[in-house]
Amino acid sequence: MYKRQGTGSNGNDDAFAWVPLVDIPAGTVITFTDSGWKPAPAPGGFRSTEGAVEYTAPAGGLQAGTVMLLEFSLGNVAPGFDPILTPSGGGGTYAVSTDGAVGARLPQIAESGDQVIAFEGAAAVPTFLWAWKNEGPFDADATSADTSALPTGLTVGTNAIAVGSGAATNANRYVGTTAGTPAQLASAIADPANWQAVADAPFPNASNDLTNGVASFTIGPNTPPSVNAGDDQSIVLSATTSLGGVVTDDGLPNPPGAVTLQWAKVSGPGEVTFSSATTAGTTATFSVAGTYVVSLTADDGEATVSDELTITVSPPAATGAPNPALAARCLPRPDPGEVNNQG
């Protein structure tokens, strides 16, 4: 996500740009607002005296990686005035929000502080997607038009960013990598080191180009999960063994954006009981002695990968068996006189 406050070459006053890191289905509505988030009273809510625009994805959806730019005129909010919205990118439509919970007017992005917050759903119960804050860090509360708390559920460095370090800027743009997996790109976009800011537009090297000349990001293909079930083990029956599987994934495809895990018995003479069959770290017990093979499987929604390990279960050591040395010492000995009489 990018942001500019000021006058652009086409006469528009404000602008912001954004890029979807996953494909967006047709008809999906995303709201962008400069209204600050107030965390209390729970569950929180927007400072509803500002504004918002709603984006609706086109028929056929919006392809991941498409850079979307929206320029818009300020001040056209009085009765009889129509806001000027100038979009570019991968299609779809924008409209000024009519949701009073977030402010039913055109946003007005200030250079001192301010924010752009993206969410789905109604403003009263939003599902937050991303938050960008100028003149960071995020505030404890939204007490003015230019302040905002970090929206509930978002994390700075993952899906939220605060730029400016307390300095007012009216032009900010992302200048980091534009190729990678969604997780890699999200991490890069959320890193302030990958942003360029100027106090007054234009940017020094691109004639006020908010998108840095980038029309699209390259979203990496899905890489199957990496699964390591652990080393082979040997235990004694009735003992519990710990299983420490290791699974890594790139977060694709999204949805689901996460892997599901499953431990299972592949072979063996008895039953295997897992304390948790759906977590990488778990424990297992066995009903009878023998050699068992168990597997850990990871499914990312597109690719399924498994790894196996062998667990040898020995019977417990026998108890109460006679000691041969002790038994020999307890054998009856002949009487010495009887021995002599035999001679």
Question: What Cα–Cα distance (Å) separates residue 251 from each residue in 71, 162, 287?
Answer: 32, 24, 37
Please determine, for residue 343, whether its predicted confidence score (pLDDT) is greater than 50. no
Q: Report the share of the chain in percent with pLDDT over 90.
A: 53
Q: Who has greater pLDDT, 338 or 238?
A: 238
Nearest to 106 by CA among 36, 47, 52, 48: 52
Return phi, psi of residue 188, to 5°. -70, -40
- CB-CB neighbours of 125 under 10 Å: 10
CA dist 164 and 135 (Å) reads 4
Please determine, for residue 74, whether its predicted confidence score (pLDDT) is greater than 80. no
Structure tokens at 295: 């597997």
**CA atoms within 13 A of residue 274's CA, in its CB half-sphere:** 18
Q: Rounded mean pLDDT of the chain?
A: 84
Q: Is 190 strand, coil or helix?
A: coil
CA dist 44 and 119 (Å) reads 14
Nearest to 16 by CA among 83, 113, 109, 82: 109
pTM: 0.64
pLDDT digits (tens, 9 = 90+) for 214-242: 888 988 888 899 999 999 999 999 999 99
Please determine, for residue 204, whether its predicted confidence score (pLDDT) is greater than 60. no
